[in-house]
Amino acid sequence: MRVLVVGGTEFVSLHVVRALQREGHEVTVLNRGRRPERVPAGVRAIVADRTQHTALARALAGQGFDAVYDVAYAPTTGEDVAALLDALGPGLRHAVFVSTGRVYDHSLPLPLGEETPRSLYWGEYAKHKIEGEDALLERHRRRGLPITIVRPTHVYGPLNTRNNETFFFDRILRGRPVLVPGAGGWLRQFGHVEDLADAMTAMLGEPRAAGQAYNVTGEEVITQVGFVELVAEVVGRPVTLVSFDPLFLPRVPPGPVFGQNLVYDCHAVYATAKLRAELGLRPRYTLGAGLAQTWEWYRKEGLDRRPVDFATEDALLALIRS
């Protein structure tokens, strides 16, 4: 198929491009042209800002794509999603949209499945993603466009733009303590980026996926503390955990203290049975194996030698010990 990937040079979207290429699809990326060196060989690039709807329509006029993967978040509103579909025209045969597990109401019982009511529990981000989902679902209902919604959570792996697993690599490697919010008992679930990209590629043109939403993430559930200890096991170094009261955070300079977005105070556990039952898809990586592969990439890229600012943590440690 002739496939357009919106994004294509960052983390998830770049892995999707590579997975589509492996399956023999003709891939074009659409983005703002900020990382042209990351566009893989054999991939055509269209430079456009998706939020500029007139310019977007002009850039896509007459292109004739069979499918689109809407991955990039700018942030992206429902109007932006609808404008992309309009620009691609009636010849489109499948649209795959990367949403998020954060569209669900996280105050409801676990696990959160595709039937769990959506809500604005996660604020503006959830609002935008729900609007994007609704724009696609409206095209499916009214015009018969085959659409598929993918809801990942805590995607990790090589090229991650979220400083989560690498946050802990940085500290454990240097023998620094890891600060843990409260008891560190909130449950988390992670999905490897290659598993996500492979699942999304397998959905392309799949009739059973039309009009459906799927949670796509790893099977394992782990506490915040358990995740840190697993990272330490992968790195092969001991780790010292220091608990802190999150109420201390306003008293120290702003900065990361426990990954980029792992501090929040609720559980996040998602059912993945629908993906297995309907499409026969399952993760290739366990969490431990995926972290080991990411650790290898981290060292190969020289990230173990990058400068790291520990000012926020040092201030928090001083406050704890005072």
Please state, in angstroms and rounded to a whole number, the distance separating the CA atoms of residues 308 and 171: 9
Please state, in angstroms and rounded to a whole number, the distance separating the CA atoms of residues 261 and 233: 22
Judge contact between 5 and 30, C-beta under 8 A.
yes
Consecutive 10-residue runs of the chain (322 residues): their mean pLDDT? 97 98 98 95 97 97 96 95 97 97 97 98 97 98 97 98 96 97 97 98 98 98 98 98 93 92 95 98 98 98 96 94 86
Supply the pLDDT for residue 243: 95
Supply the pLDDT for residue 322: 84
The first and second tokens of residue 197, run together, are: 């990209």
DSSP run (H or E) holding 192: strand 191-192
Please state, in angstroms and rounded to a whole number, the distance separating the CA atoms of residues 178 and 164: 13
Q: Does domain 2-155+190-215 have CATH number 2.40.37.10?
A: no
Residues in the chain: 322
- What's the CATH number for 162-189+219-268+285-321? 3.90.25.10
Ordered by start, the domain boundaries in the chain are: 2-155+190-215, 162-189+219-268+285-321
Supply the pLDDT for residue 74: 87
Contacts of 90 (CB under 8 A, 6+ apart): none
H and E: helices and strands count for the chain: 10, 13
pTM exceeds 0.95:
yes
